[in-house]
Amino acid sequence: MGEGEVMTMMTNTQIWRLLRALGRGRRRLGLEAQRRRLMKWICAQEDRRRLDAGGQA
């Protein structure tokens, strides 16, 4: 799953909720840096889930 696909599925509100759930401070990083970090995290989760499911990553 690419970054563009993830972004079309998530609203900014959902992104903020997820960031808060992950314990990231809003003020520590700019929005773009947080979004990049979030995308890496989501893509890593997707890859891990695919590997766990026995699919191709």
The overall pTM is greater than 0.85: no
**Higher local confidence (pLDDT), 36 or 26:** 36
- Report the C-alpha gap between 10 and 54 in whole angstroms: 26
Q: What is the pLDDT of residue 38?
A: 87
Q: What is the pLDDT of residue 9?
A: 64
> Residues 6 or more apart from 6 whose CB is under 8 A from it?
39, 42, 43
Mean pLDDT computed over 6-23? 73
Mean pLDDT computed over 4-13? 67
